[in-house]
A = this chain, B = another copy of it.
Amino acid sequence: MEAFSDGVLAIIITIMVLEMKVPHDSSFAALRPLLPVFLTYILSFVYLGIYWNNHHHMLHAAQHVSGAILWANLHLLFWLSLFPFVTGWMGENHFAAMPTALYGVVLLMAAVAYWILQQAIIARHGRESLLAHAVGSDLKGKLSPVLYIIAIFAAFFVPWIAGALYVLVAALWLVPDRRIERALAARKEPVS
C-alpha cells in the first residue's frame, strides 16, 4: 500500500508541472503570465510534500491493514489527484474568486480524508496504540480545516486573504510530524 501511495503521490507532484504550458515566444515577457501558475505550483508542491511526509510517517506506525484502511487511503489519493486540476485553474485565472475557493475545497476534502484515514488506522490498532498517543490532541489537524473554510469564504470577497491562509497552513505543517517520530523513539528507549 505504501509503494502504491508513494507512486501515486510521485506522479501527481510531477504531472502538475505539465499545467505550466511552454510558451511559444522566447521573450522574458512570455514568462510573466506564467508567474501565478508557477507560484501556485510551488504552493501545491509544498502541500503534496507535507502530505507525502506525514502519510509516510503514519503508514510506518501502522502495523495492520484492513479493507477500511485501504479504501480510506484511496479516498485520500482521490482528493490529492485533483491537485493538478485546481492548481492549473487557480494559476491560469490569476487567483480569481471561484478557482481560489475550489482550491480551498480540495485542500479541505484532502484534510478530511487524511483525518478519516488516521481514524481508520487508530480504530484498527486501538486507543492505546502508538499512533493514537502520537496524534494526541491533534491541534494542527483541527485548526487546518477551520482555516480552509474561512479561506473558501474569503475567496469570494478578498481573494488574497484566501491565498495568505493557504500559505499560512502550509507553513504550520512544514515542520514534519515529529509527534510520531518522538513516540517511536520513546518506544525504543526503555531498553535498560
A81-B12 in contact (CB<8A): no
Q: How many residues of A contact B (CB 8 A)?
A: 53
Q: Which residues on the B side are within 8 Å of A84 (C-beta)?
A: 17-18
A176 in contact (CB, < 8 A): yes
Surface stretch bound by B, among A86-94, A107-115, A139-147, A184-192: A86-94
B89-A45 in contact (CB<8A): no
Number of copies: 4
Interfacial residues, chain A to chain B (CB-CB below 8 A): 3-4, 6-15, 17-20, 22-28, 31, 42, 45, 49, 52-53, 56, 67, 70-71, 74, 77-78, 81-82, 84-85, 88-89, 92-93, 96-99, 102, 174-176, 178
Which of B31, B49, B77, B92 contacts A74 (CB under 8 A)? B49
Given contacts A4-B10, A53-B70, A70-B53, are A17 and B85 in contact (CB under 8 A)?
A: yes
Q: For chain A, what secondary structure do more than half of its interface residues adopt (helix, strand, loop), or is it mixed?
A: helix
Most buried by B among A13, A14, A89, A96: A14
A67 to B175, CA, bound (A): 7
B12-A14 in contact (CB<8A): yes
Closest residue of B by beta carbon distance from A86: B22
A77 to B96, CA, bound (A): 29
A8-B10 in contact (CB<8A): yes
